[in-house]
Amino acid sequence: MVGSVGSVAAVVGGDVNGKVEVEKREIVLGRNVHTTCLEVMEPEADDEVTGDREAYMAGVLARYRKSLVERTKHHLGYPYNLDFDYGALAQLQHFSINNLGDPFIESNYGVHSRQFEVGVLDWFARLWELEKNEYWGYITNCGTEGNLHGILVGREVFPDGILYASRDSHYSVFKAARMYRMECIKVDTLISGEIDCSDFRSKLLQNKEKPAIINVNIGTTVKGAVDDLDLVIKTLEETGFKHDRFYIHCDGALFGLMMPFVKQAPKVSFKKPIGSVSVSGHKFVGCPMPCGVQITRLEHINALSRNVEYLASRDATIMGSRNGHAPIFLWYTLNRKGYRGFQKEVQKCLRNAHFLKDRLRAAGIGAMLNELSSTVVFERPKDDDFVRRWQLACEGNIAHVVVMPNITIEKLDDFVDELIQKRSSWFRDGKMQSPCISADIGVDNCACNLHK
């Protein structure tokens, strides 16, 4: 069963006279998994039947693994690094590892991995220039939890503060505003997807009586745009917001770990007046399960932290129980790659992203790549089957490919070759031309008849 909610305006083409055709495109939800779910059947007491059951389950898992191999081959639209090998950690899967409570205070539950968790947190604190005795953090269950926690800390520091976030911010930021019943003001963005600080200034001046809690994007979800942190801080200061009247959370889900290794890129650093930073661990790092890292200033955490007698510990996290395996996977990767390893992978991703952008443009396909990003934005393919095959992320008239360390030149070539072949059939009759996406990625990046 397929559902849909709402609709978006889609520019579908233009004729030889330059007239633009617009249609309404429904937001189509994915297939209902109930149609393909695997039923759980109660085992029989008979040993022979049990043996048949084991064989059945082994067959199901073998087919599932085969499908995973196939889907991994055609994975381009979501920011997951699928290039990893954690075979050495298989020996730990027999243990229920739970890091419940405060990472820095051991609880009564002894099967934990806090020593790995704090080691990982120390590594990220060094990366973002915050001393060991000045930070608090934890390994979250996902990037969204990092945003929820960072914004929660901001709300606790300024209970009457207004949350400001650009329209291109991840949906979890606006989810946080609803959950915490916070007043939230959406700020306009530039064509790049970066926050428009002139609009930000205007909205700050309209609400000078209340403190500001700001979400700064270190790589937006769709366009990979990096908000100018220094300009955001300057705008706050010039509009009369002193450092004790604002709190900045930096959402670095993907690019927060890439940007430190990009030459001439602005720094995300706690030497600047920011309150927290979060990144995802299953994206650029390549952890095989969703997780993330959240770092904040120690001075802020007392507003959240509570003693928990049941644990013989304290807790300032959102979820309480946390996956104790995730810190070990992160620790393992950080030790194997280190700063130099990540720097090489970042450079590879940026080179390959430029290759993809150039190939698309050479084929007459509108495409954009932000300067500090490996996210290539281009016209949305007409065929939903093609979108699903390559697992592209789409929004309105555009789609994107996030070039990660596992994405090779060969895979990008295959993708572009197939896209070119498909487009020749989509536009075969001449009635439909390349869509105009200038409103999404700018006139200079559009390849429609009007803007070639």
Q: Which residues are catalytic?
A: 373
Residues in the chain: 452
At residue 280, what is the residue type? S
Shortest CA distance to 11 belongs to which of 418, 436, 417, 451?
A: 436
The two structure tokens encoding residue 196: 């428009």
Greatest alpha-carbon pair distance for the chain in Å reads 77
Q: Give the integer Cα–Cα distance in Å for 7 and 25.
A: 5
Residue 155: CB partners within 8 Å, gap ≥ 6?
161, 163, 180, 182, 213
Q: Which tokens belong to 426? A: 């989509």
> Does residue 295 contact residue 120 with C-beta atoms inside 8 Å?
no
Count the helix, strand and coil residues of the chain and give each as a percent rounded to the nearest 5.
40, 20, 40
CA gap 8, 168 in Å, rounded: 16
Structure tokens, 416: 């572009």
Burial class (CB in 10 A: 0-12, 13-18, 19+), 122: middle
**408-to-68, 73, 82, 366, 392 alpha-carbon distances in Å:** 18, 11, 12, 22, 16
Rounded to whole angstroms, the Cα distance separating 159 from 68 reads: 46
